[in-house]
Structure 1
Amino acid sequence: MTDKNEDETNQDAGECRTAIDFDVVLKYIGACGRYQLFLVLIVYYTVLPCGMHQVIAVFIAAVPAFRCRISEIDDIRDSGNLSYDFILNSTTPQENQKYDTCNYYSRYPADCNASDYSCWNTTRQNSTVVSCTSYVFDTSTFTSTVSTEWGLVCDRSVIGTISTAIYFCGVLIGAFVGGVVSDWIGRVPTLIGAQMGLSVIGIACSFTGNIITFTITRFLLATFVMSTMLVGFVYIVEITGGKWRTVLGILIQAAFAVGFMFLSPMSLRYRNWRELQLAISLVSCPALLFWFVLPESPRWLLSQGKTKKAKQIICKIARRNNVTLPNDVWDLATVLKPLKQGNKCSPLVLLSLPRTRILTLNVAFIWFVISLIYYGLSLNVGSLAELSIVAVVLALSGKFAVSGAFAVIYNFTGELYPTVVRSTAVGVGSMSARIGSIFTPFALHLQNSVPWLTGTIFGTLALLGGGISIFLPETKGAPLLTTLPDAGEFYRQSRMNKKSKSSKAKRAKNNVETEEQQAMI
């Protein structure tokens, strides 16, 4: 077919009378050829720093063991002869056999022997309990963390909780904005831009001088983390097909987890939080070179009416896969249905149509629940040491299950919505997940007052989310949707199929009951 002036003709007409079905083309170039696999691996690399940034707070905001800094002891030169445990035991009140390290017994140097300060341990029953104004932290694991540098313990611990919640607000914004921008300007520009943001803002974060600027830079980092994850997933789903689409889409979560894994040995090498933050920020720098390597998603180009450019990229993929396309491939892939070109759908379209409205609300709630539980179990890992073996096994089993659900919901959402709003739809779902993650630190905070309440909330919501998922359309074996009319027809047909299956099941049950009654007669 002739490509000359093809895009211009479509633009002048305002609406293309024919469209290229990319799923048909995939049958010839391969659902997952070696070139597509190469592109997928590049996207996986961009996800590695996302995993690091997402959970780095476990290390850079860690709260090591601490006690009150007591000037009567710590400001005297020979106090170095006293062990940390001796000072802790001698000066710190206990409640339920646990040290209250936010307070200490007030004493005076005149009451103590200058050589060993033993009177702190023998006369403290007459001492007054005083709140700490500064602290001494154990530096055996971390030389410096955000919590130790800015004293985010005791009464100020809520500041750390708020900072974490603001980070997840950034993830929420990134999920929404990243999806919309990706649907408007393309997958690759959004992906590379997000990676550069991770690098620049991450480096800036490592030089922040107070908790306010730290929280602001972490908020911005969160927007780029979510944009990368979202757009990277959509890109993989759109350039592959068949069973590979599901497998490779889910494995992006594995790349995210590999980022977790790399972070642990890096935290052993860089024990100062600023050095660790700087190190992971540099991981995104090579992504600038990907601008010259990653081609735009042909599926997105076709949905926007950029047929000529899409065909060029398809031909490039075929060459790299050592595949020769048949001369009539474009005729074979042409479908006779109207398709509005250059379509940039508003996110509100997901709620404007009755079928998409119900679907989107259900999907959003499921994303919310999965994220709340996933990050709840992740950020609460430090408390596992205090639990019984049975409780630990249950917690790890829950983490395994919710991790699988997180992987599946990305793929499922991408398959439920058409190309023109796919990235936006995944972004809306992910935005709902971030609302869940914003509530996570506060849900965990509840267990300090009511130990059983956090687990009860997680379990109840998980049951509700699982029940709702039963009513979603099944996408197994279905081609990716392209337009909103395609999606509407798919939802209608899926609903009819479920009603048909339900009717058949009822008839079968009635037949069995009738046969049993006749047998009894």
Structure 2
Amino acid sequence: MSLTEDAIEKIIGKFGRYQTWILVLICVGRIPTEMQLSNVVFIIPSVNYVCLDEGAFNATNYCPCKYPEYDTSTIVSSVTSTWNLICDRNQLASLAQSMLQVGILAGSLFYGHVSDRYGRKIAVLLSLLSEVVFVAISAVVPEFWIFMVCRFLIGTAVGGTMLCCYVMIIEISGKSFRPYLPGLIELPYSISYASLAVIAYFLRDWRHLQLATSLPWLFVLFYYWLIPESPRWLITTGKRQQAIDLLTYIAKKNNRPTENIESLVIKIEEQSLKENEQRYGTYLDLFKTSKIRVYTLIMALVWMCCSHTFFGINQYIGRLQGNLYLNVILSALILIPGLILVVIGSLYLKRKLSVIISFSVAAISLLVFIIIPSNMENATLAFAFIGQLGAYTSFVQVYLYCSEIFPTMVRNSAMGFASVFARFGGFIAPFVVNIGIEWASITIFSALAFCAALLCLMLPETKDTVLLNTVAQTEKNKVVVNQEST
């Protein structure tokens, strides 16, 4: 079977009624994850206070301060005010923000391995349910150190959800529908981001906000009976009959013929076995062969730069002048047309060019942001949003790009490894934001976005190529990639 022909798409269609149903379930189940990625501006904000210490003379934001009276006009209660993360404890606020990224790092590694070794379904279910549980627990903890532990555990679930849900949707789709998936899969983020601001406006206590954005999603328990395993994973790991049964079921749901499914599955399996006897991939497989090793290292650096820029700008928006809730809603809404641009770019531009353009937009707009006079509030806000849009669209496209470069056997492991570097970038972002010198922080974000664009020049083109199954197929795929990109 040709590497340019997608047998799975031939069996179940590029994206039928059944895949649409699974996409809806995944998107709804991911909402707590999307909110945890954005809620730092509401639960761990920079808060103004009046110092009531003797000798402080009721000065605003005076340090050191033992008895602060916090401004509750915007946020009544936050992690910052609950545990007095001010003055010499200010770095603990940055650490609390970054702890989520540390958890995402660990979760990406853990769930990446679970997904490749034990299946996409178990990894998706475990990460979705863990997210709900850990967020709810974080809302009732009495001590800051326990909250930090919860932030880490929330991050592990976020890492698993982001990674495994994306791969599952990609693997039940045909290659001709993949350009639409980045926009569809990421649409819940924009919606959740905007709706979070509305919820936070009415629930101005951080504990209530955490409970409201977790407990209602306990229904993901029922996903055990609603979410399927990835047919590509079943075939790659030698579970032929399960793959045949699942593909037959999906084909019927999509009103597709079912006569030749068994023979097609056997052909796919034989091709995979002919290329490589190994059925399960590990992180070590990312470094055993030359091409996969180079792709792994480059993609890891790209993810690091991308994550640092995106999360840095995302947290910086909470410090911009104007109404906090309105700023967050506007920054969320501007991402929606960005997803449309992602789909257009995926359809009509080469994958590599589209990603490079997004990184460049982020980098250039941030440089413009620096030189705009601070009294031009609307202009600074506009270019901050454009920078966020560029960083966000690059992040969305990098997910698709990475999933297309690596084969099924190590796809989750590769994305998990890249995500480790992304979490390092996200971890240091709050500290860069808190440098205190605006132009220095923004210059760092811009420079790393430019670096990511340059690194992408060394990666292959993947537009319109079939998802490969084995490392061996990827290693000798040079001719196919060149043909597709001409």
Which TM-score applies when normalising by structure 2? 0.83
In structure 2, relative to structure 1, the CA distance for the partners of 1:440 and 1:37 (3 Å cut) is same
Task: Give me the whole-angstrom Cα distance separating, in 2, the residues matched to 1:173 and 1:320.
Answer: 37
**Paired residue for 1:349?**
285
Number of aligned residue pairs: 430
**Paired residue for 1:3?**
none
Structure 1 residue 270, shift from structure 2 partner: 1.7
Task: Give me the whole-angstrom Cα distance separating, in 2, the residues matched to 1:231 and 1:497.
Answer: 28
Q: Does 1:469 align with 2:456?
A: yes
Task: Give me the whole-angstrom Cα distance separating, in 2, the residues matched to 1:141 and 1:316.
Answer: 52
Map Cα deviations across residues 181-233 of structure 1 (whole Å, 9 max, x no partner). 11011111111111221122122111111110001001100000110111000
Structure 1 residue 51, shift from structure 2 partner: 0.9
**Paired residue for 1:248?**
181
Equivalent residues in 2 for 1:284-363 (5 A)? 284-327=217-260, 330-331=263-264, 334-335=267-268, 337=271, 339=273, 343-363=279-299
In structure 2, relative to structure 1, the CA distance for the partners of 1:370 and 1:242 (3 Å cut) is same
Larger Rg belongs to = 1
**Paired residue for 2:14?**
31
Contact preservation (8 Å) 1:19, 1:334: no
Task: Give me the whole-angstrom Cα distance separating, in 1, the residues matched to 2:468 and 2:257.
Answer: 26
Task: Give me the whole-angstrom Cα distance separating, in 2, the residues matched to 1:207 and 1:338.
Answer: 50
Bigger CA drift: 302-311 or 187-196?
187-196
Q: Does 1:426 align with 2:426?
A: no
Equivalent residues in 2 for 1:73-112 (5 A)? 91-92=57-58, 99=60, 101-103=61-63
Matched residue type, 2:477: F
Q: Does 1:480 align with 2:480?
A: no
Task: Give me the whole-angstrom Cα distance separating, in 2, the residues matched to 1:29 and 1:265.
Answer: 40
3-state SS of the aligned residue for 2:259?
coil
In structure 2, relative to structure 1, the CA distance for the partners of 1:320 and 1:22 (3 Å cut) is farther
Contact preservation (8 Å) 1:303, 1:341: no
In structure 2, relative to structure 1, the CA distance for the partners of 1:58 and 1:328 (3 Å cut) is closer
Contact preservation (8 Å) 2:113, 2:413: yes
Structure 1 residue 495, shift from structure 2 partner: 6.6
Structure 1 residue 332, shift from structure 2 partner: 8.4
3-state SS of the aligned residue for 1:337?
helix
**Paired residue for 1:264?**
197
Contact preservation (8 Å) 1:20, 1:333: no
Q: What fraction of aligned residue pairs are identical, expressed as a percent?
A: 29
Structure 1 residue 265, shift from structure 2 partner: 1.6
3-state SS of the aligned residue for 1:377?
helix
Matched residue type, 2:150: T
Q: Does 1:383 align with 2:316?
A: no
3-state SS of the aligned residue for 2:50?
strand
Contact preservation (8 Å) 1:250, 1:411: no
**Paired residue for 2:362?**
none
Bigger CA drift: 488-497 or 151-160?
488-497
Q: Which of 120, 124, 145 is residue 191 of structure 1 equivalent to? A: 124
3-state SS of the aligned residue for 1:383?
coil
Q: Does 1:56 align with 2:45?
A: no
Task: Give me the whole-angstrom Cα distance separating, in 2, the residues matched to 1:332 and 1:302.
Answer: 7
**Paired residue for 1:121?**
none
Bigger CA drift: 233-242 or 165-174?
165-174
Task: Give me the whole-angstrom Cα distance separating, in 1, the residues matched to 2:484 and 2:132.
Answer: 49
Task: Give me the whole-angstrom Cα distance separating, in 2, the residues matched to 1:155 and 1:493.
Answer: 58
In structure 2, relative to structure 1, the CA distance for the partners of 1:462 and 1:332 (3 Å cut) is closer
Task: Give me the whole-angstrom Cα distance separating, in 2, the residues matched to 1:178 and 1:22.
Answer: 30
Task: Give me the whole-angstrom Cα distance separating, in 1, the residues matched to 2:200 and 2:160.
Answer: 25
Map Cα deviations across residues 245-286 of structure 1 (whole Å, 9 max, x no partner). 231244222212222122112112222111111111114311
Contact preservation (8 Å) 1:31, 1:240: yes
Which TM-score applies when normalising by structure 1? 0.78
Contact preservation (8 Å) 1:24, 1:333: no
**Paired residue for 2:307?**
371
Task: Give me the whole-angstrom Cα distance separating, in 2, the residues matched to 1:250 and 1:487.
Answer: 26
Q: CA RMSD in A?
A: 2.5
Structure 2: tracts of 5 or more residues without a match = 323-373
**Paired residue for 1:45?**
28
